[in-house]
Amino acid sequence: MDATDRAFDIGKLYFDRGDFKAAIPELKEAAQTYFAKKNLAEFLKCQNLLLRIHAEREEFEEIQKTKEILQDLVLREGFELNAKTYYTLAICASYKGQNEVALEYLQKSLSIALATDNKVDMCYAICGLALTYNFLGRYTDALREIYNLQVFFQVIDLNDLKMSAQITNGKILRNLKKYDEALVIFWSCYEALKENKSIIYHINLLYELGRTYLEMGDKALAKTYLQLALKSIDPDNMKFFERATRDILNSMGVPENQDYDLIFDKEQNSVIEQKIGKVDFKNQFILLDLLKLFLEHPGEVYSKEQLVDRIWHQTYDPSIHDNKIYVTIKRLRKLIEPDFDKPKYIFRSKNGYYLNKSVRVFLDQ
């Protein structure tokens, strides 16, 4: 393996890991050398990866520069772009919402793949068509392409593309409001990640799960998965997904650029803890009311008398209530504290109990 091939392999490795910033110099170096050697096939492989990276990073000026280089190559050298490059250009167009343009690129990609009898390129073009038809609301056409892909996958081993096709299938079913079927597909993909271990697919699935639960009306679960997706995103590498995820969270009432330790959804009567996720109170309304009281007034100390009056609506009796308060606080801590032995939320003072005032709380009205 020479230095150029090694640079490409390193760049591809960084690309697969989602470390696009590190991949760019390796791929550019390999592309320049391949071009100098007139190895245009390998040059295009580098450019295809670079185009995908620029799309993820929303570097649309770089995409335009690359397109101009490719167009110049076609005109000056009489070189024809291959099916995979047209597929990649289609993906870039879809990132800008130019779905009709993407469709034209994909039809060209499929035409070339059919003419050269390249079944792998056919699969990529068909997968892109399914995704684009979905964006255009042509769900019957999209499902037809997914079916066509399943036939190919019986004889061709393309694990990454198979994952993309399954996620696209889930998106189509969600758009058709077949939420349960969509979730089955998304969760099966998530299980497959134990073998694939792709950070890009991991983030993508968290995002799609969040969107699906949101459309189903489960805001608490939607926030959980969307916030997990956001925490997994490197903003320098995946600007498109970061922006898309923040946009949805903002529309749900979670302000941009803020992370919270505890989120209380009054409508759903649910709580999300930053590390634990959704906290299941299992109809333990006393615990929920107690936490709500603390969340509404961080740092305020509540005496035993006040807690008994506000939560149990009774007159304080130490022989009855001291142990009840102790046990209830302990049960609440077990539910919301990531480390029960080192509580970060509910503290005790000599006058009563209070919520740590440095806790970042969001009360979703």
- Find out whether 281 and 335 touch, Cβ atoms under 8 Å: yes
Enter the tokens of residue 247. 């946009």
Cα–Cα distance list, 348 to 9, 201, 306, 330, 332 (Å): 57, 44, 14, 11, 13
Cα–Cα distance list, 308 to 98, 213, 273, 321 (Å): 61, 37, 26, 7
Domain 270-364 has CATH 1.10.10.10: yes
Q: Is the pLDDT of residue 72 over 80?
A: yes
Distance (Å, rounded) from C-alpha 296 to C-alpha 5? 60
Residue 346 pairs in a beta bridge with 355
For the chain, the structural domain boundaries read 270-364
What is the structure's pLDDT at 257? Answer: 42
What is the structure's pLDDT at 343? Answer: 87
- Find out whether 222 and 272 touch, Cβ atoms under 8 Å: no
Task: Output the CA angle 35-39-44, nearest 5 degrees.
Answer: 75
What is the structure's pLDDT at 365? Answer: 52
What is the structure's pLDDT at 10? Answer: 94
Q: What is the pLDDT of residues 231-248, one digit of tens each?
A: 888 887 888 888 899 889
SS3 for 5-44 is HHHHHHHHHHHHHCCHHHHHHHHHHHHHHHHHCCCHHHHH
Segment 212-232 shows an average pLDDT of 90
Distance (Å, rounded) from C-alpha 43 to C-alpha 1? 16
DSSP structure string for 225-247: HHHHHHHH--TTT-HHHHHHHHH
Distance (Å, rounded) from C-alpha 233 to C-alpha 244? 11
Residue 68 is which amino acid?
Answer: E
What is the structure's pLDDT at 359? Answer: 86
Q: Work out the number of other CB atoms within 10 angstroms of the CB of residue 284.
A: 15
Q: Work out the mean pLDDT of the chain and round it to a whole number.
A: 89
Q: How many residues does the chain have?
A: 365
Long-range contacts of 166-169 (CB under 8 A, 24+ apart): 167/201, 167/204, 167/205, 167/208, 168/127, 168/130, 168/131, 168/134, 168/142, 169/130, 169/143
Of 152-156, 282-286, 298-302, 320-324, the one with minimum mean pLDDT is: 282-286
Task: Output the CA angle 10-31-113, nearest 5 degrees.
Answer: 95
pTM of the model: 0.69
Residue 352 pairs in a beta bridge with 349
Q: Tokens 């694939």 — which residue?
A: 196
